[in-house]
Structure 1
Amino acid sequence: MSSHSKWHTIKHKKGAADAKRGKVFTRIIKELTVAARNGGGDVNMNPRLRTIVADAKAQNMPRENIERAIRRGTGEEPGVQYDDVTYEGYGPGGVALMIETLTDNKNRTVGEIRHLLAKHAGNLAAENSVAWMFHRKGQIVIEKGKVDEEKLLDAALDAGADDVNDDESGWEIVCTPENFEKVRDAVKTLGVEPASAEVAMIPQNYVKLTGKEAQQMLRHRGKGDRGLPRVRIFGIDPGSERTGYGCVETDGRRHHLVACGAIAAPPGDSFPHRLARIHAELTTLLIAHRPDCVAIENLFHAANVRSALKLGHARGVAMLAAVEAGCEVVEYTPAEIKRAVVGYGRAEKQQVGHMMKLLLGLSAAPSPHDAADALAVAICHLHSMPVVRLKESVRLKADTTDSVASGFSRTEGSRTKPRSWRQYRPPARG
């Protein structure tokens, strides 16, 4: 009989599933943002956005998350701006590569890709060096045994497919990007869900690699979404009427806004229903953004006992959501937060909002004030994290021991002490 309780077994399985789901959500959110920025937020006028929204719904992403990502892409809501950039290169054995990326920093990404290619016997190529070897096509893969062969061929070809290839494990349907949605929908009418469906760069010819070259090529897999190691903090400003949230990511040199907003219950909702809404929405946000830590504003002294108790309940459900998501929880008082981000423990909300605008490089202060306060909680924790602890968080985030960003700690054997602006603490003036 296992020494672990049933709850521990379920918790570990649920944690792994949530982490996998969160990674998928993060990818889809980035794709939604880019598609909305490039082609507008109307799914009826933006085929690429329509395809990604369908993918999001298939992954059971909450509608609010989808709409928020689209608003971020159209500029209606602040957030990290991602660019869709394609790089060309050569891998081991001279294999041509098309590398599609979503990035918020082109200079950083091109340097990282160049480094990874060089590390694995490849190199970055000039624009249009290998693009001519590929065609952009819709590719839909159906597992064998799930659908009748003749019905699949008829449905795909009638919908405009260019070709249907017989693979050992399944059927590969190839079509033009313009016919992709039509062909995919035709396949779904047969009652079968594709194993994969995407518009991708398909090579005109394939090269078989063996031995050392094959091993080097396989090492590329899993490296693409690493970039520079980062730490992500989720801040919460709890409230019984409205709870602010803000997610900030740092690469060791700059802070980047990931998401922010406020959770407000409809007018007339009972207090228990408000608490349930706070818990449910925070749970969804934490799954989507996968922070390394959750920072919550601590309960301050209040003359009104009833209000203080309600605020305590709101903090409780926020902490519960964080713990259920497997996140470490830290707390800071309002004075500590204001002192860390403004330099003055009695700063006004407008001052806090202005500092969020400056620290995150935004065009305007985050709105509403609850969102700005939540971002301040997150940045307070980033400023307050010991250098060694930040280094370890980054190391775990990147899952590697050789890619810790410079500036977090001194190198082994160095006599120079670590220097970082995070160690600076403005003197308290109040």
Structure 2
Amino acid sequence: MRVLGIDPGTAIVGFSILDFENSKFKVIDYGCVYTDKDLPMEERLCKIYSELTEIIKRYQPTDMAIEELFYFKNNKTVISVAQARGVIILCGNQNNLKISHYTPLQVKTGITGYGKAEKKQVQLMVQKILSLGEIPKPDDAADALAIAITHINSINSGFFSRGLNDKLSTKNLPKTKISAKEYRELILNGGN
């Protein structure tokens, strides 16, 4: 299975390409599509469409996993991101990808097991799950990786969380919110 993960935006679209074979993740590529804020919106949307089309043709994914919109305080922002998201979905559909949508809550829960996890905690888990030497950058690309992992996990009935949960003990978990540093230590030390 090859998945294109997408963190939608207007200025920055995070993307990732992940393979999942023999119960193992393999990072093929990740990065961002950037558009210039001074360009008219229609040109920015065209750039997003054409660059994603090239990525799809280059890597031939079978699935697209895209993050749902969440509430914005700024109505102008939500409208522009919704436009970009629509173009991204159109691109996936026209390239015959199976498209799945995930809320930020589903992604946080799918990656960390905790729906209110902080961004740093999600990034640390992405690094751990994919056995990367460092947290992937920029944040939009790390989010796209998390979205792709969530999709693969949902398709495979929670494979990675079962494997990780076997390694972790919950006896040392505090009953309150933990910091990203404490979370990292918990994951890296297997809960001991």
Q: TM-score, normalised by structure 1?
A: 0.37
Contact kept? 1:242, 1:265, Cα under 8 Å: yes
Q: Which residue does the alignment assign to 2:47?
A: 277
2:120 is the alignment partner of 1:347: no
Task: After superposition, give the CA deviation of every residue in 1:266-307 in whole Å (9 maximum; x if it has no partner).
Answer: 352222111111111000001111111000000112232221
- Among 80, 86, 91, the residue aligned to 1:321: 91
2:133 is the alignment partner of 1:363: yes
Mind listing any 5+ residue stretches in structure 1 that lack a counterpart? 1-230, 388-419
Q: How big is the alpha-carbon RMSD for the aligned residues of Structure 1 and Structure 2?
A: 2.2
Q: Distance in 2 between matches of 1:252 and 1:339?
A: 24
* Superposed displacement of residue 421, structure 1: 3.1
- Larger RCO (alpha carbons 8 Å, 6+ apart): 2
Q: Distance in 2 between matches of 1:350 and 1:271?
A: 31
Task: After superposition, give the CA deviation of every residue in 1:331-363 in whole Å (9 maximum; x if it has no partner).
Answer: 000010011011111222222221111111111
> Sequence identity of aligned pairs in percent?
33
Q: Counterparts in 2 of 1:62-73, with a 5 A limit? A: none
* Superposed displacement of residue 237, structure 1: 0.3
Task: After superposition, give the CA deviation of every residue in 1:311-336 in whole Å (9 maximum; x if it has no partner).
Answer: 11010010011111110100000010
Q: 1:423 to 1:262 in 2, by over 3 A?
A: closer
Task: After superposition, give the CA deviation of every residue in 1:90-124 in whole Å (9 maximum; x if it has no partner).
Answer: xxxxxxxxxxxxxxxxxxxxxxxxxxxxxxxxxxx
Contact kept? 1:384, 1:422, Cα under 8 Å: no
How many residue pairs end up in the alignment? 167
SS at match of 1:345: coil
* Superposed displacement of residue 422, structure 1: 4.5
User: Which of structures 1 and 2 has the bigger CA Rg?
Assistant: 1
Contact kept? 2:66, 2:99, Cα under 8 Å: yes
2:28 is the alignment partner of 1:258: yes
Q: Distance in 2 between matches of 1:308 and 1:266?
A: 18
Q: Which residue does the alignment assign to 2:186?
A: none
Q: Distance in 2 between matches of 1:313 and 1:421?
A: 34
Q: 1:316 to 1:369 in 2, by over 3 A?
A: same
* Superposed displacement of residue 260, structure 1: 0.3
SS at match of 1:285: helix
Q: Which residue does the alignment assign to 2:56?
A: 286
Q: TM-score, normalised by structure 2?
A: 0.80
Q: Which residue does the alignment assign to 1:379?
A: 149
Q: Which residue does the alignment assign to 1:239?
A: 9
Q: Which residue does the alignment assign to 1:92?
A: none
Q: Distance in 2 between matches of 1:355 and 1:325?
A: 31
